[in-house]
Chains A and B, each alone.
Chain A
Amino acid sequence: MDPLNEKPQENINEDQQLAGEDMDMENIIHNEIPGVITTTSQGITEFLKTTKIQDLINWGRKNSLWFMAQAMGCCGVEIIVTGMSPMDTDRFGIIPRNSPRHADVMIISGYVTKKYLPALKRLWDQMPAPKWIICMGDCSISGGPFYESYSTVQNIDKIFPVDVYIPGCPPRPEALIQGFLELQKKIAAKKDKGTAYMR
């Protein structure tokens, strides 16, 4: 039997795919991996025909969330683990980048001291326009153990437009990946052209 014929004709519309009874084991395994999409050229054509252009742009944006490998505290260790091969965030298009000019997502992963805030603002200004911010860990959300310190900045969400909060001290890499998935849902539902730094 030709193995090409065993592949599904269209995998983007998952409801039709799951409704079909004639799936073999190979396809089920493929569908159980989150983030992995197997499709055909015909499926892509159908997707392009039946989708609005803003949804297509959002689809592209949410599947290439390159984040800046910018570790600010002990959560930075979890960021590094998330970028390593066992987590395999590449299947969601989440790739660590070392330069802010390559990045789409900035992860605030720790307390922001008064000395570091100008550098963080400069990094955020250097990122190109469709860009998002994830607040990772208790320190960046509310101050954490350092909420009453003389040297940290309070209420970081008044300074940066934060999209997703991930609580934890520190959050596990799985929690960070879940935060990215929530950000993908937010981008997919977005009507405008992405966040610009307006404040």
Chain B
Amino acid sequence: MDAEQIIKSLTTKFPDVISDAKVDSDIRISAYSEAEKIVEVCKYLKEELQFGHLSAVTAIDQIQKNEIDVVYLIASYDHPVVLKLKARLPRDNPEIESIVPVYWNANWYERETYELFGVQFKNHPDLRNLVLPDELLGDWPLRKDYKGFPNRTAKNLV
């Protein structure tokens, strides 16, 4: 299947869930999904459309729109296409269902997104900090309004 067919299959299966689906290039397609239905969309992608490779889970802090986009990069071994699937979440309480039951390797990606952006993944098997120390948890350092940077430079530079 090429990119157009994948988009057509997705939008006909989930007409109310998938929005803004478009072809970025020959190998890239992007789509927005409703946050509540993300597990169903991922399950359909994996089982029906042969998208078996979850490359990354990350997030984008859209501070002007007051929302956080969770980004799933899902690739396939059968079609030469990478799907960029996004889900909009409210910025004050970002919560989304975990996709670990579908893609098992999303475990550490979701933990990293949790410690850097504060996105709560519901029903995650072990949601705790991955790399950051415990005292930095709760600061969410990659959010745009993070205030914890050292406000003076190193002594030797001044």
Check if A148 is an interface residue, CB within 8 A of chain B. Answer: yes
- Contact partners of A149 in chain B: CB under 8 A: 149
Interface range on chain B: under 10, 10 to 19, 20 to 34, or 35 or more? Answer: 10 to 19
How far apart are the CA atoms of A141 and B154 in the complex, in Å? 9
List the A side residues contacting B146 at CB < 8 Å: 150
Which of B136, B146, B154 has the most C-beta atoms of chain A within 10 angstroms of its own C-beta? Answer: B154
Q: Tell yes or no: B139 within 8 A of A by CB.
A: yes
Q: A143 an interface residue at 8 Å Cβ cutoff?
A: yes
The docked-state distance in angstroms from the alpha carbon of A115 to that of B131 is: 9
- In this assembly, does A31 line the interface, its C-beta being within 8 Å of a C-beta of chain B? no
Q: With an 8 A cutoff between CB atoms, is B94 at the interface?
A: no
Q: Please measure, in the bound complex, the distance between the C-alpha atom of A157 and the C-alpha atom of B141, giving whole angstroms.
A: 25
CA distance A111 to B99 in the complex (A): 35
Whether B132 pairs with A151 at a CB distance below 8 angstroms is yes
A38 part of interface (Cβ distance < 8 Å): no
Residues of B within 8 Å of A151, CB to CB, are 132, 136, 141
Question: Is A150 in contact with B139, judged by CB distance below 8 angstroms?
Answer: yes
A115 touching B149 in the complex, CB below 8 Å, given contacts A150-B139, A150-B141, A155-B155 = no
Docked complex Cα distance between A63 and B148 (Å) = 45
* Most A-side CB within 10 Å, residue of B141, B150, B155: B150
Residues on B with C-beta less than 8 A from A109 are none
**CB-defined contacts of B5 to chain A, threshold 8 Å:** none
Residues on B with C-beta less than 8 A from A113 are 133
User: For A150, what are the chain B residues with a Cβ–Cβ distance below 8 Å?
Assistant: 136, 139, 141, 146, 148-149
The one of A114, A115, A142 in contact with B154, judged by C-beta atoms closer than 8 angstroms, is A142
Q: Is the CB of B136 within 8 A of A142?
A: no
In the complex the two chains form, is A148's CB within 8 Å of B153's CB? yes
Are A114 and B148 in contact, with the CB atoms below 8 A?
no
Q: Which of chain A's residues have a CB closer than 8 A to the CB of B136?
A: 114, 150-151
Q: A142-B156, A142-B157, A147-B157 in contact; A154/B150 too (CB < 8 A)?
A: yes
- Chain A's interface: helix, strand, loop or mixed, by majority? loop
Chain B residues with CB below 8 A from A141, complex form: 156
Which B residues are CB-close (under 8 A) to A115? 131-133
B135 at the interface (CB under 8 A from A): yes
Nearest CB of chain B from residue A120's CB, rounded to whole Å: 13
Nearest-Cβ distance from residue B108 to partner chain A, whole angstroms: 16
Which chain B residues border A142 with CB–CB below 8 Å? 154-157
Question: CB within 8 A of B135: which of A114, A147, A158?
Answer: A114
Docked Cα-Cα span, A148 to B133, in Å, equals: 17
Q: Which residues of A contact B (CB under 8 A)?
A: 113-115, 141-143, 147-151, 154-155, 157-158
- B residues sitting closer than 8 Å to A (CB atoms) are 131-133, 135-136, 139, 141, 146, 148-150, 153-157
Further pairs besides A150-B149, A158-B155: 16, Cβ < 8 Å: A114-B133, A114-B135, A114-B136, A115-B132, A142-B157, A143-B157, A147-B154, A148-B150, A148-B153, A149-B149, A150-B136, A150-B141, A150-B148, A151-B132, A155-B154, A155-B155
A–B complex contacts, Cβ < 8 Å, 14 sampled: A113-B133, A114-B135, A115-B131, A115-B132, A143-B153, A147-B150, A147-B157, A148-B149, A148-B150, A149-B149, A150-B141, A150-B146, A151-B132, A151-B136
